[in-house]
Structure 1
Amino acid sequence: MQLNQKLVSTNKNPAEYLIVDVNQDRAQVAIVDMLCDPPKRPKAQSFDWVQEKLASKELKLEEHDHSDLLMADDSELKPSWIKRRDAAYLAISSLVEDPYQLDQYFYGDPSGILARLIKESGRSRKWVQASINRYFRYGSVPNALLPHYEELGKKYVGPEKPIYKEDGSTCLKSKPGIDTQYGNPFRYITVEDKQNIFELSKKLKDLQEVNLKDLYEDYCKEYCVVLIRPEGAEDDDVAEEFYAVLPRVRLISPRAFKRHLKKCIGTLEFIRRRTGSILYEKDHAGKPGLAAHGLRGPRSRYEIDSTTADIYIRYDYTNDEQLSIGRPTIYFVIDVVSSMIVGVHVCFHGPDWHAESQALFNAFTDKVEFCGQFGIEITHKDWPCADICNELTLDRGTENSHNAITSVLKGKIGIKAANFNAYHRGDCKGTVEKAFDIVQGKAIPQHEGKVYKAPKKEDAHPSRGAVYTYKQFMQRLIREIIHRNNTAAKVDNHNFEMCRDEVGLTPRDIWNWGLKQSIFPPIKKSKDALLYALMKKDRAMVTAKGVRFRGVFYNSPEVMALKWLDKAKNEGHFEEEIRYTDVNSSHIWCRHPEDKKKLIQMEITERSCQYKNRLWAQVLAHQETLKELLALLDEQRFSERVLLNMSLEELDNTVKEEVRKLKKSQAVSPDKTVRERKQQHGDMEKQVQYQDLLIAMEDAANFTETPDPHVVGGDELLDPTYKRKNVAA
């Protein structure tokens, strides 16, 4: 047994005693009943009594932790608290600081000790005795005499049920708060009300469309409505019942309801039910980890994402009017370990795989040539990112189809895995999401074409004030990216080795250091290999008319040399894996079956020339329109075929009637006079055609063309009614 241990009951009879002193010479302990409020004075018990209780397992020993106020420094306490503590301790200090006095107080004759303390302090008997009891109950140190304000109200549970007077009115004697100035007051909340609110809180699943006022009405509708029958009506009488809401003096206030409802549900659970689990995890959950956890260095993992720029771009193909072509979509590819922006792409379509593939292509290639396209001269040291990553993290969106990602993984460009985030969890790519906020805020200046979250109502729409062209915007964006990569402080990305080697804090410093520490050299691929790997993959059917993909036929000299069309015509159709791009339908590509490093580029044949140089979206839309036209034509063809068959049947019947009147030869051998009649019929046709030719030539000689009024002249020629005239007539 030790000081500040507890003897706690193990049965249904509650008991809890705190050991405040152990006297080995007397074989006794001094204990305080912790369930008494206010605290009582310590009592002495023998070791035998304690051992008997422990042996019978009626009591057991437990450790006890006192309030944190015991270790509080005076600088953390209020002066009024310190004043009350010092006054109480001064009154009992002569007792608690004298071991002989304490021994007498616990185990001997305490008579005269309390009277002496009362006389010395000049305080009342009740005040001195309460100070002694509080001192031992709360830790036996001076801070035990501090007022325990932190516990006020925590143990109060309120009345079990509301109390009503004899006349039926509610007793508001114990109602807290100020009196109601206007109208009838609400009654106080009870344990029964709290239980009802708790039951209501368990039924609330989705709080997105519900406010607390509506919930209070639901609570009153369920728990504060009574069913009333007419006075004097028997149980077997047919009487019209009706419901009535309890008067205000029998209702708890909306404020009390809301306060206790929030306690039942909890602040965090209330937010989760209001926003949903996905948005809670995205916007309200704590995130102690780092995105770079478990990664070995730069190029380990890239994140790619897109956002719509808060700016309208000016249409630069006109000089006399300020026009806009819309808001562009910005794609960033960012290295997780170094937070380096390694690739960027800005376009006016998407989000789609074509735009993402272009951003990845930019991330995997040198930036000197890319920046030169926009008139920005840099060196490789300014933006030293032209390497392929090991892993890629993407959104689980429709633009990231299985075929597109498979082409990346199986395109032999070195990407080991693609990680898909959960739906609606953009926070899983926090590195690139934060980069959007920083770069967009700096790259887009304040002007008429910028999009604001809360625009002024009197201002014109930003599409009316576009200032920057696409090239000018790219110049600003590229400069901001380079500035961020070379100057941003990434303290959280530093590890022990970087600090040891005195590596700088910028993303470029971390990137360069990580590449030097890498055991394996960076993966380099040619532009052709990257473009092939980043294009979409699909299957095309080889037929005798060409390689058919989505209803469009392609061909190339390499395909003819491989005799694919001949094989398809004689042995049957077969499929080949191809690559294509969404932005142009003129070409598709495939690997050469004999030389895997060689690409075969196929072009649209004349059979499908109407689809040349078109977006695939346009091609598919035209094919849907063509299907509609073919269906309508098929309906027309069927109707006209029925009418034609009826007409032909009528003609056949007429011919049969005419033939029935003619004499028919009974011979079965070929008719030898057929050739002579054929010759005669041919001569007659020639004679008729000759007569038609003579008439046509005679008509041509008798007609003249109307003169051109702009060439010949003459007022009569300006007459619009002047036409050809027959000279002979």
Structure 2
Amino acid sequence: MSIYENQILESDNENLDLVTLQRILWISPDNTNIVVIDITDNKDMKLPFFRTYEDIKYQIESGRERTIEIDPDLRIIFPYDEYLNKYKLERDEKWGIIKDIVVQEPDIYFSEIRGKLIKEVEEKTGKAKKEIYKYLKRYWFYGKSINGLLKNYFDCGAPGKEREISKKTGPKSKDGNEFIVTEKDKENFKWAIKKFHIGEGKSLSKTHQLLREQKYSSGYYRKFGSMVPIVVPEKAPTLRQFLYWYQNEYSFSAKYSNRHGRRKATMDTRPLVGDATARAMGVGYVYEIDSTPADIILVSEDRKTIIGTPTLYIVMDQTSRFIAGYSASVGNPSWIEEAVALENAGTNKVEFCKQYDIDINEEDWPCYHLPKYVLGDRGELKSKMAENLLALKVDVINTPSYRGDLKPFVEQHFNKTNNEIRELLSTVGAKPSKPKQRGEADPARNAALTIYEFNQFMIVQILTYNKSALSKGFFVSREMFEDKVGLTPLEVWNWGKSKRLLHIEPRDLIRYSLLPKASAKVSQYGIEFDKRCYTSELGIKEGWFESKSIDGERNITVSYDPRNVSSIFIRKKNGKLVQCFLTEKFKDYENLHIEEAKAIMKYKKDQLFIKEREELQYQAELHAYADSLAKDAKGEVKVATKDMSFYERNKNKRETKKSESRTFGSKNAWTAIETIEDGNGKTSLDEVVEFPSSVNNLSMEQNKINGIQAQFASKIKERRRNNESLE
């Protein structure tokens, strides 16, 4: 750490508010003592004082003080030539008075010696001691610069501050209006601008008129059934005063925003001094990504239903304009759809194109790389799941709202793509660039392509674009010129991808990192996630579910694809990725979207809630019947055991239990015959339907058996009443 003359030290308090600024004036040859002067306030200049070298060094190293590079008084130390020429003679006169004593360092910094030196100058020049001290302070305050003796007129006249006036300046108005604008009037002006000019789109003159009617009326009168304000011009600000305030209050961009809106002002009034390419250090440094509805109407796979426009994501290298990846789907813009496009950019295109029956060579689309940065809108990339990109060594740059100009190349490519769709696919559902007018043909009537066929078109369109000539606005660097690089996105990409700004990651890691994450629990039923259970062969082999943990953790993080709940991914501590599948119990959920699975679970929850509420009434019926049954039984027991002791009730328990068992079993036996007891306590047979038979003796035998059974049943009941045993 070096400390030198004219260095400025800054110290703050605990709230980071400036406390002092000190300028170093002199350092002793042995680096032990330092002379400093406080330069915090130029209206109260102080004399210099001593500090030790070690103290300053300690304060800087501990962070209590720090050095600043920019001198706060440069405008007086290095003034404009016009200012210097105007006050140079007066400066030189002051310098001639003190020049012989300021060089006597360090004596001039000791008060006793300084007093004697000043007295000598006073006697020699006749200048008052007070003036000499003033010159010395100014000389030291401004860093021992002779220009510090210049008069400081820079702050004269209160530049940037409004003057308070009590009388209207300038010539008198023809209408005699002597109105003076006050702070309260300015608040009224702001209110009117916000309400009428910005809110309702009124012109400034109309805004001024409405302002006077609503804020400066002297009364009202009735006309046409309405209250009409009375405006006295002499008691209200003039249009000229209002416009003068407006021109000084708002910048050009603010005025443009008031008139046309903030979004248009941001796009139209910004300075065009930069270029998106200049922000990229080379091929693979920044990928631009964005989405748009493609201008075509698709049909379902069975061609029967019109399903609307697809969502198209494009991933473009900012330097080469090379399309590194894309995705097209019928889903709405979302993080998962954007993740599909990023995964496509970072994986092999030969395998991808085969899924759509298109055979290419690797050199036709040689991109399976990830960039250093991804630049996108505040929508999907602002979500928490964008943090997953950091695991892939990719950082995120989000553009501000309504600033599509910060990713211009992918925006321009959308225009090019939709133009080609309208030109080449006009007979199969391409949409016009302008909204359909009344009476015009509906493009949906011609819709014929499926999402599969649209993906085929997009692959061929991208391959064609990557081999096409770059736009005339493309910047050719000196290095490109020296290497004679062909000016197509593909050739610039091949030339620049060797700069090592790109990197490659395995497909499984890309998917694991890009997919949304959630917490899951390991149990004996499997990995429980979102009310579903998953398992894997490795888990069964390693005994995850017996120990209810993976690598010692019961609660784990899983990656899932909301488009299909058939499987999830987990990452073990050793970095290995494991795909887990639904258990047998939940196999019925295979290939369902997560929203479909949630709909089933919601149906279950709602149904159980409804049935549980209905169950309360059924339980009430059960409780009422049980109470009634218990009450009647207790009454009958009380009557039946009126003269019996508890001991007598327990007598012959075993025999009685056997009797009850036989009686109950006989009564409920499948071979039992229903009998009816008459009023005399005797049992008679219920209606018996005889089967026709030619053998009379069988019928007689059956009747005999039935009579015996009836008698036996009658005796059993009689014995029970007498509390007797069957044996």
Place the TM-score, normalised by the shorter chain, in its bin.
0.5 to 0.7
1: CA distance, partners of 2:330 / 2:518 = 25
Residues 107-136 of structure 1: per-residue CA shift (max 9 Å, x gap): xxxxxxxxxxxxxxxxxxxxxxxxxxxxxx
2:525: which partner in 1?
Answer: 545
SS in 1 for 2:331: coil
Q: What is the alpha-carbon distance in structure 1 between the residues aligned to residue 210 and residue 462 of structure 2?
A: 55
Q: 1:216 to 1:198 in 2, by over 3 A?
A: same
| Structure 2 match to 1:624 | 602
Aligned counterpart, 2:373: 391
1:159–1:190 CA contact under 8 A, matched in 2: no
Counterpart in the other structure of 2:308: 326
1:645-724 paired onto structure 2 within 5 Å:
645-663=623-641, 664=644, 666-667=646-647, 671-673=653-655, 676-677=658-659, 680-681=662-663, 683-685=665-667, 687-689=669-671
**SS at structure 1 position matched to 2:545:** helix
Is residue 364 of structure 1 aligned with residue 364 of structure 2?
Answer: no
Aligned counterpart in structure 1 of residue 578 of structure 2, from 596, 599, 618: 599
Does structure 1 retain, via aligned residues, the 8 Å contact 2:517–2:559? yes
**Which residue does the alignment assign to 1:218?**
210
Secondary structure of 2:547's counterpart equals helix
1:77-123, Cα deviation, whole Å (9 max, x unpaired): xxxxxxxxxxxxxxxxxxxxxxxxxxxxxxxxxxxxxxxxxxxxxxx
- Name the residue aligned to 1:297: 282
1:263: Cα distance to partner? Answer: 7.5
Instruction: Name 1:506's counterpart in structure 2.
Output: 488
Change (3 A) 1:552 1:517: closer
- Equivalent of 1:581 in 536, 558, 561: 561
Label 1:610 to 1:277 Cα distance change in 2 as closer, same or farther (>3 A): same
Q: Counterparts of 2:180 and 2:629 in 1: how far apart (Å)?
A: 99
* TM-score (normalizing by structure 1): 0.60
The aligned counterpart of 2:231 is: 245
Q: In the aligned structure 2, how far is the partner of 1:544 from the partner of 1:669? A: 53
The equivalences for 1:39-188 within 5 A come to 160-164=171-175
Distance in 2 between residues matched to 1:160 and 1:7, nearest whole Å = 37
Partner of 1:531: 511
Is contact 2:208–2:239 with CA below 8 Å preserved after alignment?
A: no
1:678 shift after superposition: 5.6
Give 2:363's match in structure 1, choosing from 366, 381, 396: 381
Shift of 1:613: 2.7
Relative to structure 1, is the Cα distance of residues 192 and 376 closer, same or farther in structure 2, using a 3 angstrom cutoff? farther
Contact 2:188/2:215, CA 8 A, preserved across alignment: no
Q: Is the 8 A contact 1:9 1:58 kept in 2?
A: no
The whole-number CA distance in structure 2 between the counterparts of 1:460 and 1:265 is 48
- Tell me how far 1:555 sits from its aligned partner: 3.0
CA contact (8 A) 1:588 1:601 kept: yes
* CA contact 1:352–1:399 (8 Å) conserved in 2: no
Distance in 1, Cα, partners of 2:690 & 2:609: 47
**In the alignment, residue 455 of structure 1 is paired with which amino acid?**
K
Q: Which residue of 1 aligns with 2:434?
A: 453
Residues 644, 535 of structure 1: alpha-carbon distance in 2 compared, 3 angstrom cutoff: same
Amino acid at match of 1:623: M
Tell me the equivalent position of 1:151: none
- 1:561 Cα deviation after fit: 3.1
- What is the CA–CA distance in structure 1 between the aligned matches of 2:492 and 2:577, rounded to whole Å? 38
State the distance in 2 between where 1:493 and 1:191 align: 58
Is 1:306–1:329's contact at 8 Å kept on the other side of the alignment? Answer: yes
Residues 58, 510 of structure 1: alpha-carbon distance in 2 compared, 3 angstrom cutoff: closer
Report the Cα distance in structure 1 between the residues aligned to 2:181 and 2:349, rounded to whole angstroms.
69
Q: Which amino acid is 1:432 matched to?
A: V
**How far off is 1:636 after superposition?**
1.7
1:639-685 Cα offsets, whole Å, 9 max, x none, are 33233212211111001111112235534799332563365246515
Q: Structure 1 463/592 Cα, relative in aligned 2: closer, same or farther at 3 Å? A: same
2:382–2:398 contact (8 Å) kept in structure 1: no
Q: CA deviation at 1:260?
A: 8.8
Letter in 1 for 2:411: E
Structure 1 residue 215: Cα displacement:
1.0
What secondary structure sits across from 2:557 in the alignment?
strand
* Offset of residue 333 of structure 1: 0.8
Write out per-residue CA displacement over residues 7-55 of structure 1, whole angstroms, 9 at most, x where no aligned residue: 9999xxxxxxxxxxxxxxxxxxxxxxxxxxxxxxxxxxxxxxxxxxxxx
1:247-289 C-alpha deviation (Å, 9 max, x unpaired): 89x99789x9879956864542212234555653355423422
2-side partners of 1:316 and 1:541: how far apart?
Answer: 38
How big is each residue's C-alpha offset from its partner over 1:375-407, in whole Å with a ceiling of 9 and x where there is no partner?
A: 5443322322121222223333257632x3343
Q: Distance in 1 between matches of 2:640 and 2:153?
A: 132
Alpha-carbon separation, structure 1, partners of 2:200 and 2:406? 27
Over the aligned positions, Cα root-mean-square deviation in angstroms equals 4.6
Q: 2:273 maps to what in 1?
A: 288
CA contact (8 A) 1:578 1:589 kept: yes
Letter in 2 for 1:338: S
1:422 correspondence with 2:400: yes
Supply the distance in 1 between the matched residues of 2:220 and 2:294 (Cα, whole angstroms).
64
Partner of 1:477: 458
Alignment match, 2:418: 440
8 A Cα contact 2:388 2:514, kept in partner: yes
Separation of aligned partners in 2, 1:431 and 1:190:
57
- Distance in structure 1 (CA, Å) of the matches to 2:691 and 2:245: 107
CA pair 699-586 structure 1, distance change in 2 beyond 3 A: farther
Report if the CA contact (8 A) 2:381-2:398 is conserved.
no
Q: Residues 398 and 299 (structure 1 numbering): CA distance in 2 closer, same or farther, change over 3 Å?
A: closer
| Length, aligned pairs only | 508
- 2:661 and 2:216 map into 1 onto residues whose CA distance is 113
Equivalent pair of 1:312/1:326 in contact (CA under 8 Å): yes
Residues of 2 paired with 1:442 and 1:195: CA distance?
A: 59
| Structure 1 residues 621 and 517, CA gap change in structure 2 (3 angstroms) | same
8 Å CA contact 1:158–1:190 kept in 2: the answer is no
Secondary structure of 1:585's partner?
coil
Task: Give the C-alpha shift of residue 617 in structure 1.
Answer: 1.4
Unmatched segments (≥5 aa) in structure 1:
11-55, 62-156, 165-169, 171-188, 230-240, 703-729
Cα separation, 2, equivalents of 1:637 and 1:428: 62
**TM-score, normalising length from structure 2?**
0.60
- Aligned match of 2:700: none
Where does 1:8-19 land on structure 2 (aligned, <5 Å)?
A: none
Which runs of 5 or more residues in structure 2 are unaligned? 1-80, 88-148, 155-167, 222-226, 675-685, 694-727
